[in-house]
Amino acid sequence: MENFVYQNPTKIIFGRKTQNQVGAETALYGKKVLLHYGGSSIKKSGLYDEVVKSLKENNIEIYELGGVVPNPRLSMVREGIKLCLDNDIDFILAVGGGSVIDSAKAISGGVKYDGDVWDFFAKGVVCQDGLPYGTILTLPATGTEMNFRCVITKDDTLEKRGASFLNPSFSILNAELCATLPKHQVANGVVDMLAHLMERYFTNTTNIDVTDRQIEALMKTIVELGPEVYQDPTNYDVYAQIMWAGTVAHNYSLCVGRETDWATHQIEHELSGMYDVAHGAGLAVLFPAWMKYVYKHDVRRFAQFATRVFNVENDFFNQEKTAYQGILALEKFYKSLDMPLTLRDLDIPESSIDELASNTTRNDKITQGNFVKLQTKDIKEILLLAR
């Protein structure tokens, strides 16, 4: 187990009707708020009216910026920064899923930075300060509601890059708000949160039984309850558990003391940057392919994953068989959510594989992953396995 320092300043407000507390929470930080959201769904559901009412009851002046799209765009971030600076806005409230929250996170850092906000993503500039912001989560998936990471796509080049900013000051989580989500969004969210756990689970670090067991418990919960919430997102008791699992999966408490991987996420960022596919859908295609390529690196760990998460019978005389059965069980789980399983399912042409692979390694200037360090040729093989 490696040394670590862990601190998470985000206040979580969890449960039914908690969105009605947003005005009082926001008032602790400022009196001018940028209300940031995506499309019309929060207005159709009535959530927008509830939020505005709560903010106005607390004498908060509201400026709006809607229209965030999946794989959020740099142009929207720059628009938000300008709006905050022009109006002396002192707080950002993101109401939506991961894309909206990521956009707000980047706006927060950009407001306090003298240069261009893309520097954080392209040049590795470290964020030192940011405008405080809070969130109301409407789509459990990314875990961004309780961490410092975000991913933004540059409009003209379609580069999709990640960077670190401030944590949210608070996040409001009410599974009631997810009841009207389209089924494909529910499925994408479930796949994403499971992927965050697997990126941490497959590691070369030893003597990490505590976090192994924590990760396994969350993965097992998602595998058991994911199909239930997919079939019926109105089941509050089930979706509340899935919502909290998604938050804990990526609040960085489960990677303490252990090396993590993230190769699959990096490959998927290139895929969704180029083709604008849903992040969860891309992960469903790529994760089994990555596993098939690397599982022999540590057959014991993959067999452990198979037996503890998917209840695969352990063949002690053929651990490789057990490990591979776990990969097949993962594919079966994705199929229960009607997720794509191949690049063909996503209409990704085989002719793009070379470009996707080279983009992921910046033409072999970097490697991806830690469990097995991948070069361009390795990523090409993974993409071919995903065909």
Q: How far is CA 286 from the centre of its chain?
A: 15
Alpha carbons 121 and 116: distance in angstroms, whole number:
10
What is the per-residue pLDDT for 92? 98
Query: pLDDT digit string (tens) for 286-320?
Result: 999 999 999 999 999 999 999 999 999 999 999 99
| Confidence category of residue 132, pLDDT binned at 50, 70, 90 | very high
- Give the pLDDT of residue 227: 98
pLDDT for 298 equals 98
pLDDT in tens, 256-270: 999 999 999 999 999
Q: Is 158 exposed, middle or buried (0-12, 13-18, 19+ CB in 10 A)?
A: middle
* pTM, entire model: 0.95
pLDDT band per the 50, 70, 90 thresholds, residue 206: very high
> Beta partners for 172?
13, 136
| Reduced 3-state DSSP string for 337-369 | CCCCCCCCCCCCCHHHHHHHHHHHCCCCCCCEC
Contact yes or no for 139/233 (Cβ under 8 A): no
pLDDT tens column, 42-73: 999 999 999 999 999 999 999 999 999 999 99
Residue 330's pLDDT band, with cuts at 50, 70 and 90, is very high
Q: Quick count: other Cβ atoms within 10 Å of Cβ 6? A: 10
pLDDT in tens, 133-157: 999 999 999 999 999 999 999 999 9
CA distance 143 to 360: 23
Number of other CB atoms surrounding residue 215 within 10 Å: 25
What mean pLDDT, rounded, does the chain reach? 97
**Pair 34, 83: CB distance under 8 Å:** yes
Residue 166: band (very low, low, confident or very high) from pLDDT cuts 50, 70, 90: very high
Contact predicate 187/338, CB 8 Å = yes
Give the percent of the chain with pLDDT over 90: 99
* pLDDT class of 359 with cuts at 50, 70, 90: very high
What one-letter code names the amino acid at 331? Answer: E
pLDDT per residue as tens digits for the range 88-116: 999 999 999 999 999 999 999 999 999 99
For residue 239, the model assigns a pLDDT of 98
CB 193 within 8 A of CB 151: no
Pairwise CA distance, residues 349 & 352, whole Å? 6
Give Cα 243 to chain centroid, integer Å: 12
Share of the chain above pLDDT 70, in %: 100
